[in-house]
Amino acid sequence: MAEKIIMMAQQRRGAPAIPAILEAPTGLLSDQLARPLHDLRISVTDRCNFRCVYCMPKAVFDNDYQYLPHTSLLSFEEITRLAKTFIAHGVEKIRLTGGEPLLRKNLERLIGMLAELKTIDGKPLDLTLTTNASLLARKAQSLKDAGLQRVTVSLDALDNATFQRMNDVDFSVDDVLKGIDVAHQVGLGPIKINMVVKGGMNDDQILPMARHFRNTPFILRFIEYMDVGASNGWKMDEVIPSAEVVRRIQAEMALEPVAANYAGETAARWRYVDNDGAGAGAGEIGLISSVTQAFCANCSRARLSTEGKLYTCLFATSGHDLRALLREGRSDEEISTVLAHLWRARGDRYSELRTNNTDGLPRSANKVEMSYIGG
């Protein structure tokens, strides 16, 4: 049991050192590879009611698994205080994740607090949330009323049996689709649908998913099965490359590439081409290819764990304890200076190294789990 707990919450090593000279944020922070800090993903809970095979497999996250006690979680006030610090350094987008974020009690209150924050340019934050949609139909209106702008929904198959093999619980596709429809009706959009493609398990759902979401306002994104954490038993031969996904769809439906919305966008964009050859109106898909076409060079994302550790890479083995700074009573200026030093020291490019040397890259048993810091 101890091993299971350590994989999720590594032993705390104390707060990061406070630099001798404090500095005011400029909003122009960049790391060793000249990558800015623009995106912050905040995990609000380590709990989830699904047991997806690529994230929280039952073999590890069973009925005896010990989740973090509530006192270990960042409070909404602590999250908001840290968010202000990240924004001062240039963050413009905040995504709430989990676990399943809608399991966090009174989440709407946190959303309301974050929605009041502005970027350094005085603009509203891009405030979004990723969910498995199990509670979305029930909560969509209150999330919108609180200030949430849009949602991303995880859906790995349209076939119910395949979907339940992927999430390993008794939950139906129809309920997810209902949640998507309700979220759309209340204005939480544009809605993105994320499908993790695992070879031999759900890759036969690529075409059904593409057909279903064509000619809809929803953006379907196919994600290569990644070696996040150490519990999902990742194997390279279970990865379906994004190029193969496009090939399968194009065999039935014409696609054409679309320019990125902004620098550092994780998904390569494609749109359906109508029968008359026009590219507008039929919708689009996205391909997230961190295994075969790594995008480390443009990664501008920081991740804040449920208990307040900063991770500068999805594939990291350790984090930096910002919660300790908060609970030691450190000032905003001290915390801001620590964050600046940590980001400037960032040189992470795990996916590039793995793509270039998949067989030779050592496999760490201590990589942080996706359910602890969000995807």
Residue with tokens 């590439």: 257
Residue 71: inside a domain: yes
Looking at residue 278, what is its pLDDT?
Answer: 53
Residue 249: inside a domain: no
| Count of domains for the chain | 1
Residue 61: inside a domain: yes
Instruction: Please say whether the beta carbons of 32 and 87 come within 8 A.
Output: no
Looking at residue 187, what is its pLDDT?
Answer: 98
Looking at residue 262, what is its pLDDT?
Answer: 76
Domain CATH code at residue 335: 3.20.20.70
Residue 93: inside a domain: yes
Residue 67: inside a domain: yes
Residue 236: inside a domain: no
Residue 239: inside a domain: no
Looking at residue 6, what is its pLDDT?
Answer: 36
Looking at residue 59, what is its pLDDT?
Answer: 80
Kind of pairing between the strands at 150-154 and 126-131: parallel
pTM of the model: 0.89
Looking at residue 310, what is its pLDDT?
Answer: 96
Residue 282: inside a domain: no
Please report, in tens digits, the pLDDT of each residue of the chain (375 residues total).
Answer: 333 433 444 445 678 999 999 999 999 999 999 999 999 999 999 998 888 777 788 888 888 888 899 999 999 999 999 999 999 999 999 999 999 999 999 999 999 999 999 999 999 999 999 999 999 999 999 999 999 999 999 999 999 999 999 888 889 999 999 999 999 999 999 999 999 999 999 999 999 999 999 999 999 999 998 766 555 556 777 889 999 999 999 999 999 999 888 776 788 999 998 765 555 568 999 999 888 877 778 889 999 999 999 999 877 778 999 999 999 999 999 999 999 999 999 987 766 676 555 554 455 546 666 666 666
Residues 6+ apart with CB under 8 A from 312: 31, 302, 303, 342, 343, 346, 348
Structural domain range at position 17: 2-188+300-373
